[in-house]
């Protein structure tokens, strides 16, 4: 095996091995659990439904080893490792003629670039869990590599149109927003520089035909909808309904809120700030040199890499919610990470070329030392990223989602209704039911999804034993959602146990709820007793191991939210001592979450806990100096507290 081929394999096998070692062993939180269940049973996840990823992940579940949940995680592992290989190949293509000697040193630099990219936290965390982003990045990089090969006339028009069309269609069947917004500008650049070749009618027709072939993955949705799997979201009963579901144009929710009102320009700055924090300064410097060098020597290639990077940043600023707890943010940023590291490889090659050109032969030792130091520094930065991000990205011991879901399902009564308030409660429970066949008799329902008429319709078809109001399938149910939901819960609680996690849609039910483990049970005549409150304290004390020592940011956020909701629950029941206790527990569970701490601060003021108020205020100021909401929370909470005092 040649050195070039060895380095090529290393760019794939090293990330593959480390990703496999650090991959989540089973169920992961949020959408990951949904994808694990949908891939296993061939279900339909939330829109736009991502059919090509679900089908690809299903193939991994057919492998004769490992649990189905881990095998779906393995799909992301494989795609992310292949993406690192594609970064290597693109870098090698750009380095041709930029180093001396050309081949071996260029391949070594490309390997350092690929490994550095692979161990950025935002890439790593998408590789170890079931999600669409690693597959999306692989398709983006493959299309960029094809565009470069086509621009350099290294592949024929027919071959390019066939491969690019299929990849583009499959990518649009996976995540059309990122894929389309990043790849379309790349194809536009290719068109501008190669009008004659690209505009040939045979190329366009072939490209369009194979794009449609790739888009045929969407036919999976109406076919599987007819089978009514457990995971069955959206409406694909007609072409119009399917387009609305896929494009997210179906049914504007009356109480849905925008995730942000921040202007796009400010969000662009936030995106760049996140990139700046994620990537070492040396890589930024080399990337700048690389972009300048490409612009001077290879304008077409500079435009292709630049378009991929720039539009990935713009899409992230437009679509992503800015929070370190939002792992999807990093999925949107993945093409930008790859573009910066690819440019850094070109920058390193430019430095090498400068050294060879300006350090004379009689100073060969100095020249060799400069080149060697640069290459070692690039590998050093890759190792630094691996060591720095290992603790946060390593999920190999994360069994908490499975323990959480199992603990809830095993304690519910037969044929109970469980109303899940957020994805971390809904998806893991449904995954346990679908994949592990645990407590299939329990009806796990998404409270937020009940705002959607298509979800309610399918739920009634699958769970017809419950009571449903006359307007259940009508828009009017969502227009007066909270009161209608309360009636639905009350009527069904007469025959079935109704349990739930607290959410914005069920908080008004607190007077009728009693804490049982990680959830609450509903009763029309419920009155909280001291023994029930004491049992809740003991339960959370005995189960604190699930989150107290966890390094997983989503685990801390999830249990921090559960503890905070308990604080709200006991505050509404006028048990301020317990409210203050759980408020402190919430802050201790997730001490770096500014949004949670702002809520804890408000609760501390309402519970008349000045020491906690000072502590939470100091923590917020340290984590986020100048936080604009801090003063607002202090003023509003103090006003409420004063009103309560006057009322008393």
Length of the chain: 648
58-62, 89-93, 271-275: the lowest-pLDDT one: 271-275
Give the pLDDT score at 22: 96
pLDDT, tens digit (0-9, with 9 covering 90-100), for 79-117: 999 999 999 999 998 987 555 545 678 889 999 999 999
Tokens 């100021």, residue located: 621
Count Cβ atoms within 10 A of the Cβ of residue 364 and give its class: 0-12 exposed, 13-18 middle, 19 or more buried: exposed
Q: For residue range 8-45, what is the model confidence (pLDDT) as tens digits?
A: 999 999 999 999 999 999 999 888 999 999 999 999 99
More confidently predicted of 127 and 260: 127
Phi and psi at residue 445, to the nearest 5°:
-125, 140
Q: Rounded distance, CA 586 to CA 563, Å?
A: 5
Query: What pLDDT shows up at residue 647?
Result: 43
What does the pLDDT average to over 186-205?
74
C-beta separation of 411 from 497 below 8 A:
no
CB atoms within 10 A of CB 247: 12
Q: What gap in Å lies between CA 233 and CA 230, rounded to an integer?
A: 9
Q: At residue 5, what are phi and psi to the nearest 5 degrees?
A: -70, -35
Say which DSSP state 521 is in: E
Residue 1, pLDDT score: 61
Cα 472 to Cα 457: distance, rounded to the nearest angstrom: 8
Q: Does residue 347 contact residue 288 with C-beta atoms inside 8 Å?
A: yes
**Cβ–Cβ contacts within 10 Å for residue 322, how many?**
17
pLDDT tens string 242-270: 888 888 775 544 444 444 456 778 788 88
User: For the whole model, what pTM was predicted?
Assistant: 0.91
Q: What is the pLDDT of residue 258?
A: 40
Considering only residues 37 and 644, tell me which one the structure prediction assigns the higher pLDDT.
37
Identify the three-state secondary structure at position 596.
helix
User: Do residues 210 and 218 touch, judged by C-beta distance below 8 A?
Assistant: no
Domain ranges across the chain: 3-252+259-393, 399-527, 529-648
Instruction: Indicate the SS3 state at residue 183.
Output: helix
Asked whether the beta carbons of 80 and 125 are under 8 A apart, the reply is: no
Of 59-63, 150-154, 189-193, the poorest mean pLDDT is in 189-193
Lowest mean pLDDT among 214-218, 362-366, 441-445, 538-542: 362-366
Secondary structure of 3-31 as H, E, C letters: HHHHHHHHHHHHHHHHHHHHCCCCCCCCH
Position 357 confidence tier, pLDDT thresholds 50, 70, 90: confident
Burial class of residue 236, CB neighbours in 10 A (0-12, 13-18, 19+): buried
What is the phi-psi region of residue 644: left when phi exceeds 0, alpha when psi lies from -120 to 50, beta otherwise?
A: alpha
Give the Cα separation of 95 and 107 in Å (integer).
Answer: 8
| Residue 524 DSSP SS3 | coil
State the distance between the two ends of the chain, measured CA to CA, in whole angstroms. 83
Other beta carbons within 10 angstroms of residue 524's beta carbon come to 10
Look at residue 464 in the predicted model and tell me its pLDDT.
Answer: 85
Fold of the domain built from segment(s) 529-648 = 1.25.40
């Amino acid at each position: 095996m040649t050195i070039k081929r060895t380095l090529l394999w290393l760019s794939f096998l090293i990330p593959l091995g480390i990703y496999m070692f650090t991959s989540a062993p089973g169920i992961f939180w949020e959408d990951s659990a949904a994808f694990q269940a949908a891939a296993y049973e061939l279900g339909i996840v939330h829109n736009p439904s991502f059919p090509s990823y679900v089908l690809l992940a299903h193939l991994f579940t057919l492998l004769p080893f490992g649990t189905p949940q881990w095998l779906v995680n393995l799909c992301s592992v494989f795609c992310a490792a292949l993406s690192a290989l594609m970064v290597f190949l693109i870098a090698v293509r750009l380095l041709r003629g930029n180093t001396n000697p050309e081949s071996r040193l260029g391949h070594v630099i490309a390997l350092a670039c690929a490994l550095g990219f692979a161990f950025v936290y935002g890439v790593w965390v998408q590789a170890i869990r079931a999600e669409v982003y690693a597959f999306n990045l692989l398709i983006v990089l493959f299309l960029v590599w094809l565009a470069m090969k086509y621009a350099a006339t290294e592949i024929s028009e027919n071959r390019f149109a066939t491969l690019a069309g299929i990849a583009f269609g499959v990518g649009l069947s996976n995540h059309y927003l990122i894929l389309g917004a990043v790849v379309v500008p790349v194809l536009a650049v290719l068109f501008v520089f190669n009008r004659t070749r690209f505009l040939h009618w045979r190329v366009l027709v072939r490209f369009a035909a194979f794009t449609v072939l790739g888009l045929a993955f969407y036919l999976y949705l109406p076919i599987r909808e007819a089978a009514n799997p457990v995971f069955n979201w959206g409406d694909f009963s007609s072409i119009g309904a399917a387009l609305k579901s896929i494009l997210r144009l179906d049914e504007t929710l009356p109480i849905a809120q925008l995730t942000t009102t921040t202007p796009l320009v400010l969000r662009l700055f936030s995106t760049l700030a996140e990139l700046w924090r994620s990537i070492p300064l040396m890589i930024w410097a080399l990337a700048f040199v690389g972009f300048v060098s490409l612009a001077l020597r290879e304008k077409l290639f500079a435009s292709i890499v630049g378009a991929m990077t720039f539009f990935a940043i713009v899409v992230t600023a437009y679509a992503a919610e800015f929070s370190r707890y939002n792992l999807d943010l990093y999925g949107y940023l993945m093409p930008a990470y790859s573009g910066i590291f690819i440019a850094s490889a070109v920058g390193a090659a430019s430095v090498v070329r400068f050294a060879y050109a300006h350090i004379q032969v009689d100073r060969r030792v100095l020249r060799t030392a400069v080149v060697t130091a640069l290459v070692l520094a690039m590998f050093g930065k890759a190792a630094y990223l691996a060591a720095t991000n290992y603790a946060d990205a390593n999920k190999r011991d994360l069994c908490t989602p499975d323990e959480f879901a199992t603990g809830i399902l095993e304690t519910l009564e037969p044929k109970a209704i469980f109303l899940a308030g957020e994805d971390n409660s809904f998806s893991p429970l449904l995954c346990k039911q679908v994949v592990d066949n645990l407590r299939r008799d329990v009806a796990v329902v998404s409270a937020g999804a009940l705002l959607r008429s298509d979800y309610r319709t399918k739920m009634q078809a699958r769970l017809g034993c419950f009571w449903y109001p006359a307007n259940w399938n009508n828009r009017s149910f969502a227009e007066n959602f909270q009161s209608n939901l309360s009636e639905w819960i009350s009527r069904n609680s007469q025959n079935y146990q109704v349990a739930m996690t607290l959410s914005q849609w069920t908080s008004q039910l607190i007077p009728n709820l009693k804490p049982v483990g990680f959830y609450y049970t509903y009763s029309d005549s419920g009155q909280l007793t001291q023994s029930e409150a004491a049992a809740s304290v003991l339960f959370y004390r005995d189960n604190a191991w699930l989150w107290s020592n966890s390094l997983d940011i989503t685990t801390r956020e999830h249990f921090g939210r559960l503890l905070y909701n308990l604080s709200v629950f006991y505050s509404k029941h006028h048990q301020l001592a317990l409210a203050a206790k759980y408020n402190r527990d919430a802050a201790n569970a997730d001490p770096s979450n500014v949004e949670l701490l702002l809520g804890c601060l408000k609760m501390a003021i309402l519970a008349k806990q000045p020491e906690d108020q000072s502590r939470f205020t100091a923590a917020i100021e340290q984590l986020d100096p100048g936080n604009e909401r801090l003063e607002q929370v202090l003023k509003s909470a103090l006003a409420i507290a004063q009103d309560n005092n006057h009322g008393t």
